[in-house]
Structure 1
Amino acid sequence: MTEHLDVLIVGAGLSGIGAAHHLQSAFPGRTYAILEARDTLGGTWDLFRYPGVRSDSDMHTLGYRFRPWTQAKAIADGPAILDYIRATAGESGIDRHIRFGHRTVRAEWSSERARWTVEAVHRGETVRLTARFLHLCTGYYHYDAGYTPDLPGIETYGGTVVHPQRWPRDLDYSGKTVVVIGSGATAVTLVPALARRAAHVTMVQRSPSYIMSLPTEDPIARGLRRIVGVRRAYPIVRWKNVAISTLLYQLSRRRPHVVRAMLRRSAIRQLPGGYAVDTHFKPRYQPWDQRLCFVPDGDLFAAIRSRRASVRTDRIAEFTTKGPRLESGEQLSADIVVTATGLRLLALGGIDLTVDGDPVALPETMAYKGMMLSGVPNLAFTVGYTNASWTLKADLVSEYVVRLLRYLDRHDLWCVPANDDPTVTTRPLLDFQAGYVLRSIDDFPKAGSRFPWRLGMNYAHDLLKLRHGPIDDGAMRFSRRPTTHEPDPCDPSTRVS
């Protein structure tokens, strides 16, 4: 039994729920389903349960454009974000289209039939569905386990070791000494959250990250809500925050010394007098070579001031029964060690793609407009910005998919991006120096040297190109859909079974 749908969305996280909203709002009669490998929706915001988990972008841009974020906190905790996603899915009936426990493993395109055949595993059984269009909202990392580097002697350590991606529900850290290994967004979130109950928390980092303090509540948003109401205030605050983040990013790339000095002065103001700022908070790289770490109301600095948390910038030589011994010779004792050492990237959810019988080698493809693949028909994927909110890009991708589907329907076509310009050179899809990116970027599609093959990191530019640019732009190829023996999926009397 093969069920046929107009569109298949893979992933019921922030991107997948947003994609479904755009699709069903534009095409109320169109058939679609969301395949979700886990048993609940929410993606990242359901998976991560570590103390203090929160957004690393403000919720006026991480929230959907079509559904205002109404809570006071602009930097929101994980449970609040999960409630927001669930409410979005429930209010519009999107949750009724989700097939939980369906891990998508393979998708085969047939040009003769102009459709995808998708295989998913559900309770050990293979389920097959066909669809005219495939939208992958799978995120970009392994959900099964995070990245843990080689830690010599870790097997001799006598305490508890935990990775944030698999935080035990019953882990009691009250009154315990904790060592957090890492310096990225997860580590700087964990340290102040753990410090509220732990005896002491030590963050061990090989090198510092740039850390910027932001207010938990946006005073401008609060004032505008009182004056013009939530719905009118939301787009104003959203664009205000887009403008600020874009300005900060552009300033970081063009005048990095200015941003470095600004962040250093901010750290000095918030740390105890005489603190070794240049040792622990002066990175070797330039701002936005890696993502900035935002801390709400400077909570990490406050934890250090209170002496409930401390930082060690050093390498781990080995583990002993007590905990990590650093290359400087210092022995750290810990009841719990948290390996906040990053993610394991996974392109397109690890799904095997085949086009007309030929396997698709992702590193040999090129990303079209940062959302489709050269040589792969009727498929879109969502990868958010590295320098701004994920959802800003996800919303634009979903809007473009709607525009593309309208065009294909109007002319009875299917489409495939094609790069036949020999002057377009390749480059990594993500021009980003974070360790978790560098470890796996060779497994991802390539980007090109210019539009439409270059992955943009500018929301205003992408908005113009994706929302208003031409569909038939010379890089997209179109073919006529077959007319023989092809049922209309919107007509129940001709539904494939």
Structure 2
Amino acid sequence: MQSQDEPPLDLLIIGAGISGIGMAAHLVRRLPGKRFAILERRERLGGTWDLFRYPGVRSDSDMYTLGFEFAPWTGDRAVARGEEILSYLHDVARDHGVLDAIRYRRTVRRADWDSTSRLWTVRADTPDGPQDYRARFVFAGSGYYDYDTPHDPAIPGIAQFRGEMLHPQFWPQDFDPSGKRIAVVGSGATAVTLVPALAEAGARVTMVQRTPSWYYAEPGRDRLALLLRRFLPSRWAYALIRLRNNLLQYWLFRQSRRNPQDVSQYLLNRVKKEMGPKFADRDFAPPYGPWEQRLCFVPDGDLFTALREGHARIVTGTIDSVTDGGLHMDDGEFVEADVIVTATGLKLATLGKMTVSLDGTPVDFSQHWYYRNCMFSNVPNFAALFGYLNAAWTARVDTVATWLCRLLAQMDTWDADTVTPHLPADHGLTEADPLDGFSSGYLNRGRGLIPKSAADGPWRLSHDWLGDRRALREAPIDDGNLRFGRTPRREPLAPAAQLP
């Protein structure tokens, strides 16, 4: 716990997952003199990758894009298992001296800004009771979903089911799937990962989906990456493959928005080639365009192999009811099940469900505007991260952390205590969809929690990785939208107009 006599932290990071570890590592690399701490609610670092422990859990992006730009992925597989990602994050934290800054079992409940002291006071629940931390700047890297409560849709008759009910977010580590009839309800990335893993473990698996998803199968090993690593330093090889993969994904997303019919046919043809005579439009042709929801990555075509070889099957339709022995579909089909797995998605939660106030006035972030993808209109010294919907989460971490370090360095140069993205009431901005047309269920359910986004400019929540990479590294920090402030006792190093 911080003593009142102890100087405030320069930066308090909330969350020791990909976002928090990435922000801390960037800070150490770029501004090594800064005092910081990380508050983590769990007993271990890793965030998502420590929480989710279901069979087959893996990345849904290749590790050359999910890895940090400064920490080369050196594993042989491009698609890493959950425990490999945890090990990678631990190594990054260790190599950058971040481990000692993590305070575990600290659940942040609220953050209060005081304009007189120009400090945040962050209250966290700990095993020893509530503790307060004071900091000049706060970075919330606590993810985008509710760790405690997943999305649990109402399924008629589910209480009558006499078998086991499981959710991937709380998977029992002693569960043995062998020989069991398992119905996996859902068609997103989690279901696509679970089905082949359960089938390989000896279960008879049925994936019950209301609508299909778009699939993209790729080898689990990147041959070009492995070849380049034989002839180039690992950092060079990693940088080249990372850039290639990010650009390919960027191009596919752009093509999906510009020529959705062509991309749809391309993706369907790939699935037809994998499935052969077992292909059916009903099971594999979604009623929406590609990249209106994230593509489901299928490494080595493992899902298609399980389906082709009869170890798993797909049933597409609406669940009419559940009885003691399985699921009745609306077309009359009955899916027998000993176990039902509800892979039905996440529940959106912003800022790890903590409350934020400015001088005692609660902040409703849905009424504030994004600035530079991480700060918010008229909220001082506060940033939070929401990842790209069309690229690896880490891509946003790297771009935002780079910009925030530039911002903190500028504040040091100008001897500034505060920085606020200033937006007047008569701003005249045109509001746009912060989700850029994405229609995933968890996003639609939580849409009312998301801050506002302008149609363009720095007040937009951008999903343009390539454009952000240029802008956040090169654009002037002082773009006319930021207001810098200092305590009266300090002598300003910048013109008075910069530091009111």
TM-score higher than 0.5: yes
1:365 to 360, 368, 380: 368
1:62 to 43, 63, 66: 66
CA contact (8 A) 1:353 1:359 kept: yes
Deviation at 1:112, TM superposition (A): 1.9
Q: State the distance in 1 between where 2:80 and 2:164 align.
A: 29
AA in 1 matched with 2:392: S
The aligned counterpart of 1:262 is: 266
- SS of 1:202's equivalent in the other structure is strand
Alignment of 1:402-481 (within 5 A): 402-413=405-416, 414-420=418-424, 422-431=427-436, 432-481=438-487
AA in 1 matched with 2:227: G
TM-score, normalised to structure 2's length?
0.95
CA contact (8 A) 2:31 2:409 kept: no
- SS of 2:335's equivalent in the other structure is coil
The aligned counterpart of 1:493 is: none
Q: State the distance in 2 between where 1:220 and 1:461 align.
A: 26
Q: Does structure 1 residue 186 correspond to structure 2 residue 190?
A: yes
Q: State the distance in 1 between where 2:69 and 2:390 align.
A: 18
- SS of 2:142's equivalent in the other structure is coil
CA contact (8 A) 1:322 1:333 kept: yes
Corresponding pairs, count: 483
CA contact (8 A) 2:181 2:204 kept: yes
Task: Report which stretch shifted further, 95-104 or 423-432.
Answer: 423-432
Q: State the distance in 2 between where 1:326 and 1:474 align.
A: 58
The aligned counterpart of 1:487 is: none
Alignment of 1:343-362 (within 5 A): 343-362=346-365
Please provide the CA RMSD for this pair.
1.2
Alignment of 1:45-194 (within 5 A): 45-123=49-127, 125-194=129-198
Q: State the distance in 2 between where 1:141 and 1:223 align.
A: 38
2:403 to 390, 400, 404: 400
Identity of aligned residues (%): 46
Deviation at 1:276, TM superposition (A): 4.4
AA in 2 matched with 1:283: P
Alpha-carbon displacement from aligned partner over 1:7-38 (angstroms, at most 9, x marks no partner)? 10000001111111111222222211000011
Alignment of 1:270-289 (within 5 A): 270-273=274-277, 275-289=278-292
Q: State the distance in 2 between where 1:96 and 1:341 align.
A: 37
Q: State the distance in 2 between where 1:415 and 1:355 align.
A: 14
CA contact (8 A) 2:272 2:279 kept: no
AA in 2 matched with 1:409: D
Q: State the distance in 2 between where 1:24 and 1:199 align.
A: 47
Task: Report which stretch shifted further, 289-298 or 448-457.
Answer: 448-457
2:212 to 208, 214, 217: 208
Q: Which runs of 5+ in 2 are unaligned?
A: 491-500
Deviation at 1:199, TM superposition (A): 3.5
Q: Which runs of 5+ in 1 are unaligned?
A: 485-497
Q: State the distance in 2 between where 1:348 and 1:426 align.
A: 22
The aligned counterpart of 2:389 is: 386
The aligned counterpart of 2:345 is: 342
Task: Report which stretch shifted further, 21-30 or 440-449.
Answer: 21-30
Q: State the distance in 2 between where 1:26 and 1:386 align.
A: 27
- SS of 1:272's equivalent in the other structure is helix
Deviation at 1:145, TM superposition (A): 2.5
Alpha-carbon displacement from aligned partner over 1:263-302 (angstroms, at most 9, x marks no partner)? 11111111131x3421100000011111000100111111
Q: Does structure 1 residue 304 correspond to structure 2 residue 307?
A: yes
CA contact (8 A) 1:192 1:299 kept: yes
The aligned counterpart of 1:491 is: none
- SS of 2:336's equivalent in the other structure is coil
Deviation at 1:419, TM superposition (A): 2.2
- SS of 1:271's equivalent in the other structure is helix
CA contact (8 A) 1:177 1:198 kept: no
AA in 2 matched with 1:317: D
AA in 2 matched with 1:77: R
- SS of 1:116's equivalent in the other structure is strand
Q: Does structure 1 residue 195 correspond to structure 2 residue 199?
A: yes
TM-score, normalised to structure 1's length?
0.95
Q: State the distance in 1 between where 2:29 and 2:38 align.
A: 15
- SS of 2:197's equivalent in the other structure is helix
CA contact (8 A) 1:114 1:482 kept: no
CA contact (8 A) 1:370 1:456 kept: yes
Deviation at 1:482, TM superposition (A): 4.1
Alpha-carbon displacement from aligned partner over 1:47-81 (angstroms, at most 9, x marks no partner)? 00000100011101100111100011111110100
CA contact (8 A) 2:66 2:393 kept: yes
CA contact (8 A) 1:178 1:338 kept: yes
The aligned counterpart of 1:494 is: none
CA contact (8 A) 1:52 1:77 kept: yes
AA in 2 matched with 1:131: A
Q: Does structure 1 residue 231 correspond to structure 2 residue 232?
A: no
Q: State the distance in 1 between where 2:126 and 2:291 align.
A: 41
Q: State the distance in 2 between where 1:147 and 1:132 align.
A: 35
1:376 to 374, 379, 400: 379
Alignment of 1:290-301 (within 5 A): 290-301=293-304
The aligned counterpart of 1:489 is: none
AA in 1 matched with 2:429: V
Q: State the distance in 2 between where 1:482 and 1:8 align.
A: 24
Relative to structure 1, the CA distance from residue 482 to residue 137 in structure 2 (aligned partners, 3 Å threshold; closer, same or farther) is: farther
CA contact (8 A) 2:177 2:198 kept: yes
Deviation at 1:124, TM superposition (A): 5.5
The aligned counterpart of 1:313 is: 316
- SS of 2:136's equivalent in the other structure is strand
The aligned counterpart of 2:496 is: none
CA contact (8 A) 1:397 1:466 kept: yes
